[in-house]
Amino acid sequence: MHSKRWATAVAVAVVGLGASTATAGAALPVVYNFPTAVAASAVQPGGSPLGANDWSCSPSAAHPRPVVLVNGTFANQINSWNAFSPLLKNDGYCVYTFNYGGLFLGQVGAYGPVAASAGELKTEVDKVLASTGAAKVDIVGWSQGGMMPRYYIKNLGGAAKVNHLVGLAPSNHGTTLSGLATLAGYFPGALPLVGALCPACTDQLKGSPFITALNAGGDTVPGVKYTVIQSRYDEVVTPYTSAFLSGPNVTNITIQDVCFLDGGEHLSMTSDHIVGRQMLNALDPAHAKSTLCTPIVPAVGG
């Protein structure tokens, strides 16, 4: 991206970080801008996004399940959840994020073997349940983070601890190496990790032994609800329909069917207010709200 855009993003990121000192009870800023999210991560390497990881949080009667947010390949908890973490916190949820699968230079994460990363998710969920006293969590994951929890649910006992998995552009049926290289190009320092240095990349290739085993016997596990929110313009998970799941308790949403003005793709998914509204509606369908249809800029959001 152009240096001018990055300079602006860094400035906005610093302002956003300063807003975290707002008085208790004040709404946290929700910035729907992916370059700003990447810049915020650069300002605070390895840190948590606004609204996340308050270990004193007690789930409310309205939202009795804490939400665990799981980032995607080459991403981390800030550049993935800079917008949706404060959005969920403002809506009354206890929100938790974590880095997994390695963290290169404090910025580039989630490149380790997917099965091992699922083990890290298991540890995180157990920690969240112990802290909050909740019986189950809801999980929202982006890209690999929307697919990897399915391994945890299927193979590591997660079916008893997860109520709902919401995947945002998840790599459920694999993708191509070119798609992963495209993704890496947006995260400074990620390109050297593609290939032999990125087991998660190999695991996510279409037809890989990991993806084949994950989907053997069906996409879903009984007792868990699944929602997939995907863009028709996804350039990383291709074809875009490979993100979708089949089976009971599954809802597949193409975001352009909700708003034809949404030009967002893979990168803007977690900085898109239309996706955010669909996420909130999936987590709390009894209080679903209509979506304001506005233009969304690819690789930026809005």
pLDDT digits (tens, 9 = 90+) for 3-15: 333 333 333 333 3
Asked if residue 164 belongs to a domain, the reply is: yes
Provide the domain limits for residue 205.
3-287
Flag whether 53 is in a domain.
yes
Dump strand ranges (E) for the chain: 67-70, 95-97, 103-104, 108-109, 137-142, 162-168, 225-230, 250-254
Per-residue model confidence (pLDDT) at position 24: 45
Backbone φ, ψ for residue 69 (5° rounding): -100, 130
Please name the residues in contact with 227: beta carbons below 8 A apart, sequence gap of 6 or more.
164, 165, 166, 167, 250, 251, 252, 253, 282
One-letter amino acid at 62 equals A
Q: What is the pLDDT of residues 85-135, one digit of tens each?
A: 999 999 999 999 999 999 887 888 899 999 999 999 999 999 999 999 999
**CATH number of the domain that residue 136 is part of:** 3.40.50.1820
Tell me what the mean pLDDT of segment 228-243 comes to. Answer: 95
Rounded to an integer, what distance in angstroms lies between the CA atom of residue 296 and that of residue 273? Answer: 9
CA triple 86-87-91, angle to 5 deg: 110
Cα separation of 38 and 10, whole Å?
9
* CA dist., res. 272 & res. 255, Å (int): 10
Whether 207 has a pLDDT exceeding 50, the answer reads yes
> Taking the CA atoms of the chain, what radius of gyration do you get in angstroms?
17
Q: How many domains does the chain have?
A: 1
Does this model's pTM top 0.85? yes
Distance of CA 110 to the CA centre of its chain: 12
Contact 29, 3 (CB under 8 A): no
Is residue 298 assigned to a domain? no
Q: Model confidence at 251, in pLDDT bands (50, 70, 90)? A: very high
Alpha-carbon span 240 to 236, nearest angstrom: 8
Quickly tell me which residue has 């949404």 as its tokens: 262
Assess if residue 236 is contained within a domain.
yes
Is 98 within the bounds of a domain? yes
